[in-house]
Amino acid sequence: MHPLKKYIDKFNHLIQISHSYNNHLLTSELQDEIYKLNENQFYIAVIGQIKRGKSTLINSLIGRSLLPTAVLPLTSIITMIRFGSETKARVLFNDCKELFISQQELKDYITESGNPNNSKNVNYVEITCPSEFLNRGIALIDTPGIGSLFLHNTKSTKDFIPKIDAGIFVLSVDPPITKTEFDFLSEVYSKVNNLFFVINKIDLINEKDLNEIILYTSNMISEHNHSLKQEIYPLSSLSALEGRIINDRKKLTESRILNLEEKITKLIENNKIQVLESNLNRKMKTYVSQLNFSLELQLKSLQTPVNVFKEKIKEFNDEIDRISKEKILILHQFTEQITELINRIDLEVESFGINNRKLFYESLQNFLNTSVNTKKIKMVRSSREFLRDMLTHKFENWRLNFEQKIYNEFSLIVSESVGKINELIQQISRLSSGLFNISAPLYFEELNIKLPSEFFYYTEDPALFLEVDFLKISSVLLPQKFLSKLILKKMEKGIDEKLMINSGKIQSFYKSLVSDHSSEFSRSMNNKISQILLYTNNIILNAQKSKETNELAIEPKMKKILDDIYLLKSLN
């Protein structure tokens, strides 16, 4: 007998109830749970920030270069790897269609470059391969990195977290744990009880620095959750993969991945059923709450006199119209605030150039005045180095402060808008409860569309300044005094060029970043409200149709609903 047969039975009951009331979305989610249970799969998701080496870690665990990897952030679609006698890849689309593809075609469906903004409408990709590690009932899930400039990638990862049984939280040494990862832990902790913390890319640093990073990371995690008993696994997934491929046991041991494998194996062997049961109980409560809300509303509709119910429907629709208008107003205010922020970016960047041009010029002049005794050929070289270092230092310090200021202002705008949207969701919930005297489902209380607060910190730090090409003269022929003046004159123009070019780069980057994320965030807020309105309205319409049924048919309908509500209580 299946060790979790009681849960299979419970989910089958939920599917029957959900299907009988035409709740197709919930039915599909429940069928996924049944499939997972029947396959006896233990879902372990590899999660974390972009460019921590998640795909490479999965390749090293399964012992082959299966998932594509690259210098740029890559994975954009949830990718599940299960055990199979041969390597196969199947793409499952949101319209329920599927397509078998080759390993070489994976990049065309699971990467941002091959499938930008998920233009191919992929739900997820499933791969089977003959891996000893997977042949324990493990399904490894590669997730898009959090903190990506592509908001839909982060959202895909966060939406999938409640479905997993354990997580491998991948950090690395370049840099150690960031605020994005620190904040993401809050969401993961509430949904996943079993986490393995990996510090990847240890081959890039020495042992002394690694120990400092491990201590720092451990303290940060403990500070976040004092009750969390965590163990950190430093490793090099790249070295581990190389060791697997060439069957080099020494290299594999030095990569330190075997410690992580051993811990995961012990969890599967000793605690698999307990972990699965804990997660299934949590999911069961959520599904029962959703179904119970729908059934109670339909029951109330059947119990309420037709004329009274029509009045309630009219009042509900009037309130929904008001809420819809309020939603539009909130989104409009959000857009206006973002426009003001973008205008302030323009002013701030322009102000930086105006305020610092004279400072740069005077600093260079002072440097040259103090270099009168320097050899002429060295004076040319050292003045260029001085200007480069001065501009880089000044720009970088300003840019980081400027970035933090933008982040704070943007976060405040987002926070205020989320609060307003949450209040609308609460209004819909209270409206349903007040008019129809039913308990609204708990999931209406949260708006889980939080913009990654640190996306500003995940810009590449490119070389900010173009090398100045000047002084194509013979420094040997000019007197020191004239050379100094010529250097100053030539480099004055270079200062203006660098201020203009690099201020423009920073200005353009942050304006685009704010604009792109605010557009995506605005769509997310709009979609969230629209989905809830549609869901609630569909329940109301179904209830209204029930009222139009002839009196002889109402009584058996009510009996079925009452029986189903009673069954739901027994399942919870």
Give pLDDT < 50 ranges for the chain: 71-73, 148-153, 226, 440-476
Residue 381: CB atoms within 10 Å: 13
State which of 257, 283, 309 marks the end of a domain.
283
- At 361 the pLDDT is 77
Q: Residue 522: CA atoms inside 13 Å, Cβ hemisphere, count?
A: 20
Task: Tell me the sheet residues that pair with 91.
Answer: 99, 125
**Cis before 441? omega within 30:** no
Q: Are residues 355 and 274 in the same domain?
A: no
Whether residue 308 is contained in a domain is answered as no
Q: Which of 237, 268, 283 is the last residue of a domain?
A: 283
Indicate if 362 and 277 belong to the same structural domain: no
Number of separate domains in the chain: 2
Look at residues 5, 63, 54 and name the one whose alpha carbon lies nearest to residue 34. Answer: 5
Asked whether residue 204 is domain-assigned, the answer is: yes
Count the neighbouring beta carbons within 10 Å of the beta carbon of residue 355: 10
- Asked if the structure places residue 3 within a domain, the reply is no
**Domain contains 348:** yes
**Spatial distance between the Cα atoms of 567 and 563, rounded to a whole number of angstroms:** 6
8 A C-beta contact, residue 100 and residue 161: no
- Return the closest-CA partner of residue 417 out of 445, 452, 451: 451
Burial class (CB in 10 A: 0-12, 13-18, 19+), 336: exposed
326 and 183 in one domain? no
Three-class secondary structure of residue 232 per DSSP:
strand
Domain for residue 188, yes or no?
yes
Residues 489 and 538 in one domain: yes
Residue range(s) defining the domain that contains residue 114: 45-85+109-118+126-283
CA atoms of 155 and 367, how far apart (whole Å): 51
Does residue 291 belong to any structural domain of this protein?
no
Residues 137 and 116: their CA atoms lie apart, in Å, by 32
> Which residues are CB-neighbours of 464 under 8 A, at least 6 positions away?
391, 392, 395, 396, 399, 502, 505
The backbone torsions φ and ψ at residue 561, rounded to the nearest 5 degrees and listed phi first, read -60, -45
CA-CA distance, 146 to 110, in Å (whole number)? 16
Contact criterion met (CB below 8 Å) for 203 and 183: no
pLDDT at 444: 33
Q: In terms of domains, do 218 and 328 share one?
A: no
User: 75: which DSSP letter?
Assistant: B
Tell me if 309 is assigned to some domain.
no
Last residue of a domain, one of 228, 263, 283: 283
CATH (domain of 62):
3.40.50.300
The answer to whether residues 366 and 456 belong to one domain is yes
On whether the CB atoms of residues 73 and 195 are closer than 8 A, the answer is no
* Cβ neighbours of 543 (radius 10 Å): 21
Instruction: Return the C-alpha torsion angle 378, 383, 385, 391, nearest 10.
Output: 180
Cα–Cα dist 213/261, whole Å? 22
Helix (H, G, I), strand (E, B) or coil at 5: helix
Which residues fall within 8 angstroms of residue 189, CB to CB, at 6 or more apart?
195, 224, 225, 228
Q: Do 251 and 344 share a domain, yes or no? A: no
Peptide bond into 175 cis (omega under 30): yes
Q: For the chain, how big is the Rg over CA atoms in Å?
A: 30
Pairing verdict, β 42-48 and 138-142: parallel
User: Residue 322: beta bridge partners?
Assistant: none
- Beta pairing partners, 111: 75
CATH assignment at residue 461 = 1.20.120
Identify whether residues 331 and 277 lie together within a single domain. Answer: no
Look at residue 562 and tell me if it is in a domain. Answer: no
**Crossing angle of helices 306-369/480-547, nearest 10°?**
170
In this structure, are 377 and 496 located in the same domain?
yes
Assess whether 373 and 276 both reside in one domain: no
For the chain, the average pLDDT equals 77
CA-closest candidate to residue 444, choices 430, 429, 433: 429
Residues 388 and 489 in one domain: yes
Residue with token string 């605010």: 518
**Largest CA-CA distance found in the chain, in angstroms, rounded:** 111
Segment 177-222, tens digit of pLDDT:
777 777 777 677 767 778 899 999 999 889 988 898 888 888 877 7
Q: What is the per-residue pLDDT for 516?
A: 72
The pLDDT value recorded for residue 320 is 80
Same domain, yes or no: 207 and 332: no
